[in-house]
Amino acid sequence: MNRKLVAAFAIAGAAALVMSGCASTPSTTADSGPVTITYTNFISDGANVGNLAKIVTAFEKANPKITVKVKTIPYASYGTALQTDLAAGTASDVFDIDGASNYQSLVANQQLAELKGVNGSVYSQALLKTYQTSGKQFGLPTSFSDVVLFYNKALFDAAGVSYPTSSWTWTDEQAAALKITNKAKGIYGDHQPVTYNEYYKTLVQNGASFLSADGKKAAFNTPAGLAAAQWLVGKSGTTMPTIAQGQGTANFDSNLFAKGKLGMLHTGIWVFGNFAKTPASWDIAVEPGMTQSASAVFSNAIGVYAQSKHIAAAQKWAVYMSSSNEEVNVRLDTGWELPTIADTAKLNTYLSKGAPANRQAVFDAAKQIAPAPNLGANSSAIQDAMTAQLIEAQAGRETVQQALSNAETKINALLAG
């Protein structure tokens, strides 16, 4: 999965961005004879081309009249290649969708066929709804990863603090972090990046929103938004190292945790392997919220081209590639990201793999998603502006309120185009 700075999730309510029925309606008529469909992807690029081939072989055996012709493109050039094909009307019958933000654009441009008759119950409902618009399914989630709360059991035990639970709030996290922090020994209780990505998530955790309902204005400069920013910025120098001490530099937080000097760490499940040799025992929990729990979840999906001449066959492949036993087993056996299915019984091999013990938290986190705002054409500039202002407050050059007001002015200008 691509874990880029732009979080790739949006709310099911993103449907409001487009009109109902905005994409072409697929034909449900199956081809009478053998058919070859094309599938363009980035998800198998690198070490997983062979794993994808296993799934294709199993699909073709189960569907002898359908042949899948695969084209794999490196992630770095996938977006440009897909847009070029779509503009020319030559896109593959089936193609990967790089997260919810790209999904929204594809639906708005009527480039995805509606997927009718899909058994949605087999999927994680939060992930499935991310690829729905106006109550219609235009994409199917294929894989995901998310951000959780890592914690060092030894430091919790030494401080006499109970381990995090699913009922924790920011108040509980802060109380534990303060007890664990021992600056004289170089031990800190907590670490959470002071960035746009963390801020939009904490807004949701506090019942607030980054943008207005119509997406045209900043909505974070409110009492709830101020509290969310203070929650992030206030850790610096108290329960978290300062910028001057190295906070914010590459791998600073994970290195500190690996050395047994950090009680809690907000980061993604992709770093599990980094802590395999960490002396102290550790585990994970769903990140605490304040008014509600909400996690940053990153996903990939699969869609059918609206202009495909073989929509019925293409949909069969899309469903197989996102929910079949073969797909699930290949992913779990090889560690090729996580499947998006709802049946936890099929996930036992992953849940029992070893540290962390509470791997169930990975799936629990995906049930309550903090949707990434749709920031439009100036997305990168908006994210940079928000992060820059938060850092100004973290460094003490502005108050948190000043930082939010300045960010609001800059971001409203960027949203206006």
pLDDT averaged over the chain? 92
What local confidence, expressed as pLDDT, does residue 14 receive? 37
Both tokens of 335, joined, read: 């560690």
Q: Does residue 16 carry a pLDDT above 50?
A: no
Query: Which of residues 275 and 36 earns the better pLDDT score?
Result: 36
Q: Which residue shows structure tokens 């499947």?
A: 339
Number of Cβ within 10 Å of residue 342's Cβ equals 18
- Contact 275/282 with Cβ under 8 angstroms? yes
> pLDDT band at residue 278, thresholds of 50, 70 and 90?
confident
Residues 359-382 have a mean pLDDT of: 93
Both tokens of 181, joined, read: 């922090």
CA dihedral (99, 104, 106, 108) in degrees, to 10, reads 180
Q: Does residue 19 carry a pLDDT above 60?
A: no
Number of Cβ within 10 Å of residue 315's Cβ equals 28
Instruction: Give ranges for CATH 3.40.190.10 in the chain.
Output: 12-145+296-365, 146-293+373-416
Q: How far apart are CA 153 and CA 131, in angstroms?
A: 38
pLDDT tens, position by position, 49-102: 999 999 999 999 999 999 999 999 999 999 999 999 999 999 999 999 998 889
Provide the percentage of residues in the chain whose pLDDT is more than 90: 83
Q: How far apart are CA 75 and CA 45, in angstroms?
A: 7
Q: How far apart are CA 373 and CA 103, in angstroms?
A: 13
What local confidence, expressed as pLDDT, does residue 9 receive? 35
Both tokens of 338, joined, read: 């996580």
- Contact 141/12 with Cβ under 8 angstroms? no
pLDDT tens, position by position, 73-87: 999 999 999 999 999
Q: Does residue 6 carry a pLDDT above 90?
A: no
The CATH number of 12-145+296-365, from 3.40.190.10, 3.30.70.260, 3.30.70.2200, 3.30.830.10, is 3.40.190.10
What local confidence, expressed as pLDDT, does residue 32 receive? 73
What kind of fold does domain 146-293+373-416 have according to CATH?
D-Maltodextrin-Binding Protein; domain 2 (3.40.190)
pLDDT tens, position by position, 307-316: 999 999 999 9
Query: Which of residues 380 and 14 earns the better pLDDT score?
Result: 380
**Beta bridge partners of residue 71, listed in sequence order:** 40
Number of Cβ within 10 Å of residue 392's Cβ equals 18
pLDDT tens, position by position, 164-212: 999 999 999 999 999 999 999 999 999 999 999 999 999 999 999 999 9
SS3 295: strand
> pLDDT band at residue 18, thresholds of 50, 70 and 90?
very low
Number of Cβ within 10 Å of residue 92's Cβ equals 20
> pLDDT band at residue 28, thresholds of 50, 70 and 90?
low
Q: Does residue 351 carry a pLDDT above 60?
A: yes
Q: Does residue 381 carry a pLDDT above 50?
A: yes
Lowest mean pLDDT among 1-5, 87-91, 357-361: 1-5
Q: How far apart are CA 368 and CA 350, in angstroms?
A: 20
Both tokens of 270, joined, read: 């992709």
